[in-house]
Amino acid sequence: MKTMAAIAAVLCLATPLSAQKSGLKPAKFNFTFKDADGKKVRLSAFKGKVIILDFWATWCVPCKEEIPSFIELQKKYGAKGLQVVGLSVDDSQDMAKKYVDQMKMNYPVLLAEGKEDILRAYDPIYSIPVSVIIDRKGRIVTRHLGIATMKVFEEEITPLF
């Protein structure tokens, strides 16, 4: 079985390959992770919000490029019910915590290192970044392979509020 790092390291996509409409498939919320502070967080705690679930790692340059947009989106739309959630696929808690603090990330960053089941649950993820937009009813609306712009995310999330 491949490790989380091997799967994630296959490819770090600098350009968007595609935005796939999902046909409103149910998202999987039955996962619990530690956050960058070491607290346990259930993914189901965010159900009922519009979610941008971002699969990323600190070493992935395109992933880093998206983070300022996610910070801005959380500021701009958090009060309307948006929740950006970062899933760090292979960073240690110490590494993730330092990065979260350095970037002033205003959304939860959960540690998915060693949790290959989350990668399979979201239509297997073989490369990062991948961002999944989930509506308030818990359905996957869109899945981005590679980076996407803030404008693209805004166009996709605003009809969901």
Contacts of the segment 28-33: beta carbons below 8 A, 24+ positions apart: 28/118, 28/121, 28/122, 29/138, 31/115, 31/117, 31/118, 31/121, 33/87, 33/110, 33/111, 33/112, 33/115
Question: Which range of residues forms the domain containing residue 17?
Answer: 4-160
pTM equals 0.86
Residue 126 belongs to domain with CATH number: 3.40.30.10
Annotated catalytic residue 63: yes
Question: Rounded mean pLDDT of 64-82?
Answer: 97
Residue with tokens 């995310």: 153
121-146: pLDDT as tens digits: 988 788 999 999 999 999 999 999 99
pLDDT number for residue 23: 64
> How many structural domains compose the chain?
1
Q: Is residue 148 over pLDDT 60?
A: yes
Token digits of residue 118: 């989350």
pLDDT number for residue 120: 86
Choice among 12, 41, 57, 63 that is catalytic: 63
Q: Is residue 103 over pLDDT 70?
A: yes
Q: Which is more confident, 51 or 25? A: 51
